Amino acid sequence: MERIYPATITEVAAKSAAGRAGLQEDDRLLKLNGEPLRDVIDVQIYAAEAELVFEIERDGQPLTLRSRRRYGEPLGLSFENELFDGKIRACRNACEFCFVSQMAPGMRAPLYVKDDDYRLSFLHGNYVTLTNLDEGDWERIAEQYLSPLYVSVHATQPEVRGGLMRNPRAADILAQLDRLAGDGIVVHTQAVLAPGRNDGAHLDRTIADLAARYPAVATLAVVPVGLTRWRHDTLRPYTDAEAAAVLQQTLAWQTRLRAELGVGFVYPSDEWFLRAGVPIPPLAAYDGLLPALVENGVGMVRLFLDGWPDTQHRLADLGGPRQTWVTGALFAPTLRAQAAEFAAATGLNINIIAVPNRTFGETVTVAGLLTVEDVIAALRAAPPADVIVLPDEMFRGPEGCSLDGQYPTMVTEALGGTPCVVVSDNLLLNG
């Protein structure tokens, strides 16, 4: 007997195929073109036909609605959940550097879920390890052509990867990548590096193994391990000198691979450059791949710098002679340099606040991991301002909330009404 996973509809676009069919908010979608649905991926696949038949439940009663989808027309449906079966694939690894295992108490509940779901990788670019796939998952990836996927490799040497992830099933990542390549699936990869564990010669091997699979393996992002004060392991962060060495090693590979492949292939995250005091590369160095790389912290500073001319015009229009710009400790020197030029050109008084991350620990220096609680504490100790500019990376939760489930308005309230502005494009003030 086939399983039906009713999917509650939360929004129906008026000018859409679903809107013309007469679907409504709170309808429960049961089947589309006769097919039961496990998630929004199935909806996307089965809604590709010109003729659409929606089997729904409305007020407890079954109902069939029909529509014809015009070429290029949106389906027009939003759902309460993307995974209708309610079975998010949990991570089966026990990685030493797992950030979820280091999560501070009191954050939003979903942040404690160790998801490792290939469907969310396809939908949102989440990185997965491929260690929990069964044969049905592999077949579905191939049949529905779920490409690209985003895979955490960390190391290609079996004993190194298996040891880092504390899972023997994690060992043979190259065979899994080869299977995906055989099915025509493109993969973006990442390696989170920990000092003395998967860097040095291990990193050389990882880069070589993955580059040999280009273009099926399209990119490799190299990221330093992030460690909070809540960790329970023996890992440590990189020193500045070690960061500089990793950067030099990675850029040497990038130069070589650009000559061989026509692209850089391996891309260090911005933190390596900032820690080493090396200028951020020009946009061309990212080979037009930033949408696939930016969630790893790759190229975010370059986007900020290139977008700065437009951004500073917006900041000049905020009003009030005194502005306070909030960021993380890592990006603060870069932002101060831009602020000095901006202040000289406009006559405004700009104060940069590099917020210490007391929630996660002061080794966590990026703006995206700041909490509203820490920002308020830092601003209370700062000179008064007419307007406060907050980093948009802080507010990427549902409906624009922070990691600790708060909103920009709460900063305004805590500071006695000082207006706060979140600039949400150009990745302004990202840490």
Phi, psi of 378, rounded to the nearest 5 degrees: -70, -40
| 314 band by pLDDT with thresholds 50, 70 and 90 | confident
The answer to whether 69 touches 6, Cβ cutoff 8 Å, is no
**CATH number for the domain that contains residue 56:** 2.30.42.10
Q: Which domain holds residue 227?
A: 100-298
CA atoms of 242 and 278, how far apart (whole Å)? 13
Q: Per the structure block, which two tokens stand in for 409?
A: 């308005």
Phi, psi of 5, rounded to the nearest 5 degrees: -115, 95
Instruction: Tell which of 298, 329, 361 closes a domain.
Output: 298
User: For residue 86, is it within any domain?
Assistant: no
Same domain, 123 and 263: yes
pLDDT value for 2? 77
CA atoms of 32 and 47, how far apart (whole Å)? 7
Nearest to 260 by CA among 252, 269, 268, 248: 252
The answer to whether 253 touches 221, Cβ cutoff 8 Å, is no
Same domain, 149 and 177: yes
Tens of pLDDT, residues 182-210:
999 999 999 999 999 999 999 999 999 99
Tens of pLDDT, residues 116-157:
999 999 999 999 999 999 999 999 999 999 999 999 999 999
pLDDT value for 425? 47
Same domain, 294 and 335: no
pLDDT value for 428? 38
The answer to whether 197 touches 95, Cβ cutoff 8 Å, is no
Q: What is the mean pLDDT of residues 165-189?
A: 94
The answer to whether 131 touches 165, Cβ cutoff 8 Å, is yes
User: For residue 252, is it within any domain?
Assistant: yes
**CATH number for the domain that contains residue 309:** 3.40.50
pLDDT of 427 > 90? The answer is: no
Same domain, 308 and 293: no
Same domain, 268 and 123: yes
Tens of pLDDT, residues 333-352:
999 999 999 999 999 999 99
pLDDT value for 1? 58
User: For residue 84, is it within any domain?
Assistant: no
| 317 band by pLDDT with thresholds 50, 70 and 90 | confident
pLDDT value for 96? 84
Same domain, 264 and 313: no
Instruction: Tell which of 298, 331, 360 closes a domain.
Output: 298
Same domain, 257 and 396: no
pLDDT value for 424? 60
CA atoms of 185 and 181, how far apart (whole Å)? 5
Tens of pLDDT, residues 367-383:
999 999 999 999 999 99
Identify each DSSP E strand in 127-285 by its residue range: 149-152, 187-193, 217-224, 266-268
Length of the chain in terms of residues written: 431
pLDDT value for 87? 85
The H or E element containing residue 29 is strand 28-32
Same domain, 294 and 323: no
* β-bridge mates for residue 54, sequence order: 32, 65
Q: Where do we find the tokens 């037009």? A: 288
Same domain, 292 and 317: no
Q: What percent of the chain has pLDDT over 70?
A: 98
Instruction: Tell which of 298, 319, 345 closes a domain.
Output: 298
User: For residue 52, is it within any domain?
Assistant: yes
The answer to whether 110 touches 124, Cβ cutoff 8 Å, is no
| 30 band by pLDDT with thresholds 50, 70 and 90 | very high
Q: What is the mean pLDDT of residues 401-415?
A: 95
User: For residue 12, is it within any domain?
Assistant: yes
